[in-house]
A and B are shown apart, each in its own frame.
Chain A
Amino acid sequence: MRRVLAIAALTVRGAVRSRVLLILGLMLAVAVVGLPLTVRGDGTIGGLVQIMLRYALGVAFVLLAVAMVWSGCAGIATEVRDRQIQMVTTKPVRALEVWLGKWIGLLALLAVLLGGAGFAVFGLLHWTTRPGAIEEADRARLRDEVLVARAEIPAIAPEVDAPARAEFERRRSAGELPADRPPEEVFRMLRRTMLAQAFSVPAGGRNAWLFRVPRRPAPGRPFLLQFRFEKSVLDLEPVRLRWTFEAADGTQRRETVGEYRPRAVYTIAVPPEALGPDGRLRIGCEHIDPVPASLLFEPGDGLVLLQYRGAFAGNYARAIGVLFARLAFLTALGLAAGTLFSLPVAGFASVSGALLILLGDYIERLARAGVFFGAGPDAGWSAAVVNRFLSAVFRALSFAIQPLRGPDPLDLLATGRWIAWGLVGREMLIQVVVYGGLLALCSAAVLRRRELGLPA
């Protein structure tokens, strides 16, 4: 461990003495302080705070991501180029110790820079929203909506797999499946349609959803229903709705009536007394507007309960923790590329890797689609072979990338959503321990076998 720490300390010292740390610190300071001053929000204090959280920290993340990938690439590649690695590897040091030392050193720098940026944004936030700087009503709204950590409780998803499978089998036996689509895609479309129906409210009709609330709402803390819907008629005219809140057995019923526009996000207070003793809550929506238009709530986040879980400061720290884990992985990616390639090539390779992760959703869709060049009986055997090969490639890529993808902590933070310790732990485990560890082992194996004394 002494050797690992020696190399880590050397890495930090190198960054400090070569003024990399200073330059990065200045760039971050400009980004986190200057950006909120130059970007105009929606004119509200809430909008400004969201810009601070989402954009200032977002820019800091991007800057640090670029800096860490590049520093990672340079960490070993420049030492190989300048031959200093020869002085190190001729000492009793394992390749893994060299790699880990570099990584830990860069992570120490990252911790300082990200921590500094985090403190700067947090301080700026407090200064901007200090008493006297904004109206008390705005401060209260900020505390309730943005500067808070609220858990998001989605509706219990209705069972749609079995009915979708039954409908699919019925259509197949009736010969009603489209010929130009793979059967699995048809099944997925059926399932999606049924799920959408489960979250729709027909004109003049009613629908209800069950929620399981893991803990009772704290007294004096807001307990909210947040919703957003689309209308089957393409206009933005408000719709009159009656919301009902009751226990799962239909008791303790409360209701409220209001007019709501499509595509806008609304939060309405949920009476805590409507929650049943078993922690279940049924929320109904009745379409009482004469307009003949169905309403569609997006399954997942179109209809959620928001429950107070903790203070903003803790949530903020957890968001920084998630960012740190992701940046730690990017640093490892850069270091691994720098172990394999010379500096410019390593830079391109690691940026390509990072882009693949960003395109994770698209890659997953490609992997699921499985069809790239024609389909059906008319497609030739060559198209089938290419499709099968590409499908395997995209499935493998998707399998490797998906664990690295997760919710955007800045989005959660800016919307006052609870960032669970579980998410921080998961990110640390996946990004740092599993993927960072895998990169460390692979890089060490390469470094051990690589001829570091080759002539220039």
Chain B
Amino acid sequence: MADEQEHEAASRADGPPLVEAWELTKVFRDFWRRPQVRAVNGLTFTVSRGEIFGLLGPNGSGKSTTLKMVLGLLHPTRGRLRVLGASPREVRTKARIGYLPEESYLYPYLTPVETLDFFGRLFDLTARERRRRIEELLEMIGLAHARRRPVGEFSKGMARRVGLAQALLNDPDLVILDEPTSGLDPIGCRQMKDLILTLARRGKTVLLSSHLLADVEDICDRVAILYNGRLRASGAIETLLEERDRCSLTLPAVEEARLRPVIEAARAAAGAEPEITRPRMGLERFFLRVVEEARRVEEPAAGAEAGRAVADYLASPAEAQREDGTTPEGVADRAEVDRRLERLVGGGRPEDRDGS
């Protein structure tokens, strides 16, 4: 499985890396230029095309500082940084980047439509294209019903969804997400994670930071673990987490008496007492199931609605397939797309990895 994951990540990583950082160091100085904090210290990493790369670490470990350097919002004190083959401060580079900051720094007096229209203009999208994308994004983030309310009246989670929509407005090649699930409810978290996986499947590269280990584990191909500005560990998730001295065998539920021969065989093979447990589905999955059942019988809540999986202009051809099973002109049918995807990723698809 670990090999498959490595292979998957490697197979996606065709072409030069989208982000290359060598010995990246950031020292924050005071007014008199005296060094105060070394937020990032000699960090080297690359992010390859099509992968989901996570920067993981506790608060103050340098994750956001690193992302801001990648975005050109901070300038490295030392080291080199190339983003999409150019300096992060290059204006044309920014046309290919989508950014969701840790907090949604939106204009409180604008409605979601006005917010997205404004950012669409900054991306130089035509009026028609802006209208189309805004509609699709509002559907996607589940805020179509709140399109005329000022963002300043939104809850943190709703504002965050608008922030996400603006990050995807330009159909970016590189999506940078700073604490993407921060402020979202469990449903929003799940949708965010599904969206990130979909974006990766669409060929987007995602660079995210988080201190929520479960989120990173669910979606990232590779991670870099930072502590106190230094890189402490990095690699593919499965490689890092794999316990090579243990293995597990999952069976459908059967009576313990019928398992006895299997246990005996396992004891003989391993030379140790095997452990028998019942798999747990995880609280997130359980919660989502409960909410889904509740939704079937009740009105939706006042906040964000469950959005569509992904906006059409962001969706892969497989997701662009119509509900009646037909596909838009020029788009292969779902089975064919799946086959292509299998070939492309060399085995298991990203969504297969979450164990659901």
Which residues of B have CB within 8 Å of A82?
105
Which residues of B have CB within 8 Å of A17?
109, 150
Cβ B124 vs Cβ A452 within 8 A: no
Cβ B99 vs Cβ A453 within 8 A: no
B212 within 8 A of A: no
Which residues of A have CB within 8 Å of B75?
451
**A90 CA to B75 CA, complexed, in Å:** 14
**Given the interface contacts A90-B71, A90-B73, A453-B74, does A84 sit within 8 Å of B107 by beta carbon?**
yes
B332 within 8 A of A: no
Cβ A10 vs Cβ B105 within 8 A: no
Cβ A86 vs Cβ B122 within 8 A: no
Cβ B107 vs Cβ A10 within 8 A: yes
**Of the 9-residue stretches B9-17, B113-121, B229-237, which lies at the interface with chain A?**
B113-121
The residues in B between 95 and 118 inclusive whose CB is less than 8 angstroms from any CB of A are 95, 97, 99, 101, 103, 105-107, 109-110, 114, 118
Which residues of A have CB within 8 Å of B82?
none
Cβ B73 vs Cβ A453 within 8 A: yes
Cβ A87 vs Cβ B166 within 8 A: yes
B349 within 8 A of A: no
**A276 CA to B13 CA, complexed, in Å:** 91
Closest to B96 in A: A92
**A2 CA to B94 CA, complexed, in Å:** 17
Cβ B94 vs Cβ A91 within 8 A: yes
A147 to chain B, nearest CB (A): 43
Cβ B74 vs Cβ A454 within 8 A: yes
**A171 CA to B99 CA, complexed, in Å:** 77
A346 to chain B, nearest CB (A): 16
Cβ A90 vs Cβ B94 within 8 A: yes
A314 to chain B, nearest CB (A): 38
The residues in A between 2 and 37 inclusive whose CB is less than 8 angstroms from any CB of B are 2-3, 5-7, 9-10, 13-14, 17-18
Cβ A14 vs Cβ B109 within 8 A: yes
Cβ B110 vs Cβ A13 within 8 A: yes
Cβ A86 vs Cβ B119 within 8 A: no
Cβ A18 vs Cβ B91 within 8 A: no
**A17 CA to B73 CA, complexed, in Å:** 29
Closest to A18 in B: B109
B92 within 8 A of A: yes
**A179 CA to B84 CA, complexed, in Å:** 73
A372 to chain B, nearest CB (A): 31
Which residues of A have CB within 8 Å of B72?
89-90
**A2 CA to B122 CA, complexed, in Å:** 7
B279 to chain A, nearest CB (A): 42
Most buried by A among B74, B89, B97, B107: B107
Interface size band for A: 20 to 34
Which residues of A have CB within 8 Å of B101?
83, 86-87
B287 within 8 A of A: no
Q: Mark A431-456, 1 if CB is under 8 A from B, else 0.
A: 00000000000000000100111110
Contact among A7, A83, A93, A452 for B91, CB-based, below 8 A: A93
Cβ A91 vs Cβ B119 within 8 A: yes
Closest to A17 in B: B109
Contact among B105, B114, B150 for A84, CB-based, below 8 A: B105
A233 within 8 A of B: no
Contact among B103, B106, B110, B122 for A92, CB-based, below 8 A: B122
**Given the interface contacts A89-B73, A92-B94, A94-B91, does A3 sit within 8 Å of B107 by beta carbon?**
no
Cβ A92 vs Cβ B124 within 8 A: yes
Cβ A87 vs Cβ B119 within 8 A: yes
B208 to chain A, nearest CB (A): 15
Which residues of B have CB within 8 Å of A14?
107, 109
A392 within 8 A of B: no
A7 to chain B, nearest CB (A): 8
A87 to chain B, nearest CB (A): 5
Cβ B123 vs Cβ A92 within 8 A: yes
Q: Contacts A7-B122, A14-B107 known; list 15 others, CB within 8 Å.
A: A2-B121, A5-B121, A13-B109, A18-B109, A83-B103, A84-B107, A87-B105, A87-B106, A87-B119, A89-B73, A90-B73, A90-B97, A93-B91, A452-B73, A453-B74
Chain A residues in the interface with B (C-beta under 8 A) = 2-3, 5-7, 9-10, 13-14, 17-18, 82-84, 86-94, 448, 451-455
In the complex, 10 of the A-B residue pairs with CB atoms within 8 angstroms, ordered by the A residue number, are: A3-B122, A9-B118, A13-B109, A83-B103, A86-B71, A87-B101, A90-B71, A91-B95, A92-B124, A93-B122
Chain B residues in the interface with A (C-beta under 8 A) = 28, 68, 71-75, 89, 91-92, 94-95, 97, 99, 101, 103, 105-107, 109-110, 114, 118-119, 121-124, 150, 166, 170
